[in-house]
């Protein structure tokens, strides 16, 4: 059985200034053709205006759930799949004029059992149908997409804080100081790479942790937040930010911190400082080339024994892989592979001259997976084998 609206003329306005019944009918046909689901229009109170919703109950029994579906979509910034009291799946998008809700476009009205695949697996048509409904409303300018996106991002941040709290319970930090020290390396690395999302996530974890442990200790929280800013400023300068600009930010931050009164204000202050410090670094391409290449070479010298790739080194230097390769050729005159090989060979020569490990052990310690390849490239580069080099620099050794 279907719930159907009263008959209306095709030229009537469902939502004044937004949608006529004729226009809705065309949208309903298009939506059904794309998703296989029916489309209905409801007013701001949940009353059915046009279209149909499959259910054994009448429209009055559904008015509240229709209205709730619209409100939940607005709250979370994206369609939410709900279930009516009679077991039917529903989803909607609000029809809006600026911030005013005029009503909604409603999809679904299908029993949940009909949406389960083999062994109760979820039917992936539902998320696609939700996205299609939101796209449909956006294309025809029927909803406030900017407000929905704002609410979606806010919900995402709230979810991130909830996940951070759960993560905190799992990790069981001993005290506030250990939290700070544990998260610092990852935060430094994210700032130096200019990765805002990763840095924000770490800041979220730190704030959640210190607020949980330090509630009511305002002085301590401010001290820890100031330490974080000093540390982040140091990372920004190392990543290429102008020291004078960062110094100015730090001076202003101290003035602003003095006026902070609540935990919420402290959180906002700390997040704003993070954004300003990353802005001070500029786009990766604007960083001094010497700083970027020095950071890349330092990373290679630290990790050369590992299975190191160009993309990993470029990321550590805050560069795209292609730009990193270009800078290597332009500034250093060699490729990434050539420089990595040279670093490995130079370290191998040092171990051959000073250490007592075998050639096999030295090859492995310097990142060569096979001794035969190590010997071949060593001889090609230095015109002698590793053993010949060892004998020449140290004399014959009993252990080879």
Q: Give per-residue pLDDT as tens, 177-234.
A: 566 666 667 777 777 666 777 777 877 777 776 666 555 555 666 776 777 777 777 7
Last residue of a domain, one of 282, 306, 329: 282
> Does a structural domain hold residue 274?
yes
* Nearest C-alpha neighbor of 131 from the set 87, 95, 80, 96: 80
> Does a structural domain hold residue 295?
yes
Distance between CA 88 and CA 53 in Å, rounded? 9
> What CATH number did the domain enclosing 331 receive?
1.10.10.60
- Give the up-direction half-sphere exposure of residue 340: CA atoms within 13 A in the CB hemisphere: 20
> Does a structural domain hold residue 346?
yes
* Averaged pLDDT in 10-residue chunks for the chain of 400 residues: 47 77 89 87 86 62 79 85 72 88 83 52 70 89 88 75 52 51 70 74 74 60 72 69 67 71 77 77 52 77 88 81 82 84 89 86 91 92 90 61
**170-178, Cβ contacts within 8 angstroms, sequence gap of 24 or more:** 173/209, 173/213, 175/213, 176/209, 176/210, 176/213, 176/214, 176/220, 176/224
Residue 136 is encoded by which pair of tokens? 């449909």
CA dihedral for 352, 353, 357, 362, sign (positive or negative): negative
Q: Model-level pTM?
A: 0.40
Residue 385: what pLDDT?
92
Burial of residue 160 (number of CB atoms within 10 Å: 0-12, 13-18, 19+): middle
Q: Per residue in 294-339, pLDDT tens?
A: 778 888 888 899 988 988 888 877 777 888 888 888 877 788 898 8
**341-344, Cβ contacts within 8 angstroms, sequence gap of 24 or more:** 341/377, 341/381, 342/381, 343/300, 343/301, 343/304, 344/304, 344/368
Q: Are residues 327 and 367 in the same domain?
A: yes
Q: Would you give the DSSP letter of residue 73?
A: H
Residue 181: what pLDDT?
63
Taking residue 141's Cβ as centre, other Cβ atoms within 10 Å add up to 11
C-alpha 106: how far from chain center: 31
Last residue of a domain, one of 263, 282, 301: 282
Domains identified in the chain, total number: 3
> Does a structural domain hold residue 373?
yes
Q: Are residues 60 and 109 in the same domain?
A: yes
Q: Are residues 8 and 72 in the same domain?
A: yes
> Does a structural domain hold residue 160?
no
Residue 121: what pLDDT?
43
Q: Are residues 138 and 11 in the same domain?
A: yes
Q: Are residues 335 and 300 in the same domain?
A: yes
Residue 1: what pLDDT?
34
Q: Are residues 128 and 178 in the same domain?
A: no
Residue 393: what pLDDT?
79
> What CATH number did the domain enclosing 61 receive?
3.30.450
- Non-local CB neighbours of 12 within 8 Å, separated by 6+ positions: 20, 21
Q: Are residues 10 and 143 in the same domain?
A: yes
Q: Are residues 28 and 84 in the same domain?
A: yes
Q: Are residues 132 and 8 in the same domain?
A: yes
* Domain that residue 100 falls in: 2-148
Q: Are residues 88 and 214 in the same domain?
A: no
> Does a structural domain hold residue 165?
no
Residue 361: what pLDDT?
92
* Nearest C-alpha neighbor of 235 from the set 182, 177, 195, 175: 195
> Does a structural domain hold residue 163?
no
Residue 399: what pLDDT?
46
Residue 379: what pLDDT?
92
Q: Are residues 273 and 312 in the same domain?
A: no
> Does a structural domain hold residue 159?
no
Q: Are residues 20 and 139 in the same domain?
A: yes
Residue 373: what pLDDT?
92
Taking residue 197's Cβ as centre, other Cβ atoms within 10 Å add up to 8
Distance between CA 158 and CA 240 in Å, rounded? 32
């Amino acid at each position: 059985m279907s719930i159907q609206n009263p008959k209306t003329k095709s030229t009537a306005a469902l939502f004044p200034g937004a949608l006529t019944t004729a226009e809705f009918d065309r949208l309903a046909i298009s939506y059904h053709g794309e998703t296989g689901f029916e489309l209905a229009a409801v007013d701001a109170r949940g009353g059915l205006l046009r279209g149909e919703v499959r259910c054994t109950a009448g429209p009055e029994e559904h008015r509240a759930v229709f209205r709730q579906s619209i409100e939940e979509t607005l709250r979370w910034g994206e369609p939410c799949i709900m279930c009516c009291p009679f077991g039917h799946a529903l989803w909607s998008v609000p029809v809006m004029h600026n911030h005013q809700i005029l009503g909604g476009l409603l999809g679904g009205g299908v029993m949940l059992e009909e949406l389960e695949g083999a062994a109760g697996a979820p039917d992936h048509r539902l998320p696609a149908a939700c996205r299609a409904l939101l796209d449909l409303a956006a294309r025809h300018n029927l909803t406030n997409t900017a407000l929905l996106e704002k609410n979606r991002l806010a919900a995402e941040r709230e979810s991130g804080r909830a996940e951070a709290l759960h993560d905190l319970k799992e990790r069981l930090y001993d005290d506030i100081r250990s939290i700070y020290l544990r998260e610092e390396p990852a935060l430094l690395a994210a700032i130096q790479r200019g990765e805002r999302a990763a840095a924000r996530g770490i800041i979220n974890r730190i704030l959640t942790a210190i607020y949980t442990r330090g509630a009511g200790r305002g002085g301590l929280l401010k001290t820890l937040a100031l330490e974080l800013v000093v540390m982040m400023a140091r990372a920004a300068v190392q990543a290429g930010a102008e020291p004078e600009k960062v110094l100015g930010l730090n001076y202003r931050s101290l003035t602003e911190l003095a006026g902070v009164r609540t935990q919420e204000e402290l959180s906002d202050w700390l997040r704003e400082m993070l954004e300003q410090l990353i802005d001070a670094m500029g786009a990766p391409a604007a960083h001094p080339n010497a700083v970027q290449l020095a950071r890349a070479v330092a990373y290679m010298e630290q990790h050369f024994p590992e299975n190191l790739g160009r993309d990993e080194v470029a990321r550590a230097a805050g560069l795209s892989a292609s730009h990193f390769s270009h800078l290597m050729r332009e500034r250093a005159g060699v490729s990434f592979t050539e420089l990595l090989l040279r670093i490995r060979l130079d370290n191998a020569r040092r171990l051959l001259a000073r250490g007592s490990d075998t050639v096999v052990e030295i090859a492995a310690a310097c990142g060569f997976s096979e001794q035969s390849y190590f010997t071949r490239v060593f001889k090609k580069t230095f015109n002698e084998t590793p053993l010949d080099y060892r004998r020449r620099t140290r004399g014959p050794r009993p252990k080879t």
